[in-house]
Every structure is written in structure tokens, then in C-alpha cells.
């Protein structure tokens, strides 16, 4: 009987550790921050080519644009659980509570990025001028969402 109780208690402690909302939220925060890093990595390559600090390469440009579009097209619902804002999870995230209090407004920003990434993916491999022409909309969609929904770190 003692053993059973002890085992049950251990199981409870373990499950509380693994499934408590705070821990689940931390995993979701990590996932969405990693997704943002993927955005930044691929956009960084396109931006470097646009600026001329990296030589334009049609295949590399197309790959970066395709990756950005694929990443932006992921279903992110599970990565943004309620209660994972920068008030409830201070120090862990820069996500503002407005994401949830004004929901589904943020989905407009997500859709704007998908649209901009589609335009980029349709021309990035053509030539440098086309890539440059598609940069503005992408920058606007990243910046627009950050302005409304991400805490500034200054
Ligand atoms: C739909 C809204 C939205 C869009 C679109 C968006 N971001 Fe973000 N981004 C956020 C939010 C919110 C955070 C804060 C996430 C957190 O800390 O939990 C963030 C965080 C980041 C971070 C920091 C990640 C980290 O490791 O903490 C980077 C880098 C970033 N975004 C880059 C980009 C780039 C590049 C684009 C455009 C290609 C982009 N984002 C588009 C909302 C967005």
C-alpha cells in the first residue's frame, strides 16, 4: 500500500511538472521564438542580397524565400496559448497581452506576412531587382506586428 501511494505521489508530481500550464507555456514560447528565428535567418539572407553584402544567387534566394513562406504558413495556434504573455510570464517572453485581448486581430498581421512571403517566393529567384522590390512588404509585415504585439526592448 505504501509503495502504491508513493508511486501515485511520484506520478502526480511528475505530471504536475510536465503538464503544468507554466511549463507548457514555456515550451510554446520557445517554439514561437524559434519560428521567429527562422523568419529572421531566411529574411537575413534575402536582405543581405538586397543590400549587396551577399552576392545575389538565384537558387539561394529562392530557397530562403521558400523557407520563409513555409515557416510563415505553419499553423501557430498552439504556439500562442492564452496566459503566455509578458505580464503572466515576465522575463520569458516579449509577447504583449494585446495578442489575446484584441484577438483575432493578430491573425491579420500573420496573413500580411504570408501574402508578402508569397510575393517574395514568386520572384526571388528571377533577379536581384525583383527580390529588392519584394523586400518592403515583408519588412512592413514583420515590423507592423512587432509594433502592435511585441514589447520593445528599449
Ligand atoms: C503576427 C505577428 C508577428 C509577425 C508577422 C512577425 N513577428 Fe516576430 N515576433 C512577434 C512576437 C509577438 C514576438 C515575441 C515572441 C515572444 O517573445 O514570445 C516576436 C519575436 C521575434 C524575434 C525574437 C525571437 C526570440 O528569440 O526571442 C525575432 C528575431 C523576430 N520576431 C523576427 C521576425 C521577422 C524577421 C519577421 C518577419 C519575417 C517577424 N518576426 C514577423 C510577432 C510577429
Sign, CA dihedral 116-118-121-126, equals negative
pLDDT attached to residue 2: 55
pLDDT attached to residue 28: 97
Q: Which of 41, 91, 102, 146 to mutate to test the pocket of ligand 1 (most atoms within 8 A of CB)?
A: 146
pLDDT attached to residue 5: 55
Contacts with 131 (C-beta within 8 Å, 6 or more apart), sequence order: 46, 49, 50, 56, 61, 65, 120, 123, 124
> 46 CA to middle of ligand 1, Å?
17
The number of residues in the chain equals 154
Query: If you take atom 6 of ligand 1, which residue's CA is the nearest one?
Result: 142
Task: Find, among 37, 83, 74, 63, the residue nearest to 131 by Cα.
Answer: 63
* Grid coordinates given for 35: 519560428
Tens digit of pLDDT at every position of the chain (154 positions): 455 555 555 555 455 555 678 889 999 999 999 999 999 999 999 999 999 999 999 999 999 999 999 999 999 999 999 999 999 999 999 999 999 999 999 999 999 999 999 999 999 999 999 999 999 999 999 999 999 999 997 5
Pocket of ligand 1, beta carbon within 6 A: 29, 32-33, 36-37, 39-40, 43, 93-95, 106, 109-110, 113, 138, 141-142, 145-146, 149-150
Amino acid at each position: 500500500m505504501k509503495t502504491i501511494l508513493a508511486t501515485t505521489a511520484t506520478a502526480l508530481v511528475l505530471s504536475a511538472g510536465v503538464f503544468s500550464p507554466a511549463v507548457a507555456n514555456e515550451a510554446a514560447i520557445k517554439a514561437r521564438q524559434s519560428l521567429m528565428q527562422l523568419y529572421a535567418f531566411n529574411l537575413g539572407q534575402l536582405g543581405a542580397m538586397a543590400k549587396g553584402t551577399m552576392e545575389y544567387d538565384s537558387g539561394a534566394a529562392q530557397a530562403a524565400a521558400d523557407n520563409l513562406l513555409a515557416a510563415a504558413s505553419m499553423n501557430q495556434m498552439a504556439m500562442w496559448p492564452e496566459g503566455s504573455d509578458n505580464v503572466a510570464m515576465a522575463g520569458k517572453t516579449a509577447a504583449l497581452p494585446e495578442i489575446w485581448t484584441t484577438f483575432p486581430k493578430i491573425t491579420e498581421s500573420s496573413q500580411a506576412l504570408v501574402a508578402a512571403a508569397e510575393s517574395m517566393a514568386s520572384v526571388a529567384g528571377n533577379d536581384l531587382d525583383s527580390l529588392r522590390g519584394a523586400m518592403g512588404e515583408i519588412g512592413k509585415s514583420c515590423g507592423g506586428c512587432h509594433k502592435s504585439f511585441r514589447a520593445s526592448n528599449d
